[in-house]
Amino acid sequence: MPDFINDYGNEVAQNLMEQNLDLHEDLDFPLSSVDGFKDPKAIQKVTGRAVMLTSDAPPTEEQPYPSLARQAWLYETLTSDYRTQMGAISAME
């Protein structure tokens, strides 16, 4: 997992919240939409609330902990988006 606690990670978190309003709500609105989701600590606020992502889905053999799957999805998405953004920045240099 990359160290995304930086300005680029903040931008990734802001974009994710802006593009996924249901997720933003599920995380109890960690960023203010008044400022266009801009926040100098966006990545900390979003990842700090990952534990709030729960699931009502019953456990299955394939997915014994559905809430953990949602939390993992958040981190996987942030990581993927961060790597994509860093790749685009590197390509421009």
Q: Is residue 49 part of a domain?
A: yes
* Percent of the residues in the chain that have a pLDDT greater than 90, as a whole number: 90
- List the domain range (segments joined by +) for residue 30: 7-83
Q: Is residue 1 part of a domain?
A: no
Instruction: State pLDDT tens for residues 56-88.
Output: 999 999 989 999 999 999 999 999 999 999 999
pLDDT for the residue numbered 36: 86
Residue 84, CA distances (Å) to 30, 36, 58, 62, 91 in order: 23, 22, 33, 29, 11
* Structural domains of the chain, count: 1
Q: Is residue 2 part of a domain?
A: no
Q: Is residue 78 part of a domain?
A: yes
Structure pTM?
A: 0.90
What number of residues does the chain have? 93
Looking at residue 18, the DSSP 8-state letter turns out to be H
Q: Is residue 38 part of a domain?
A: yes
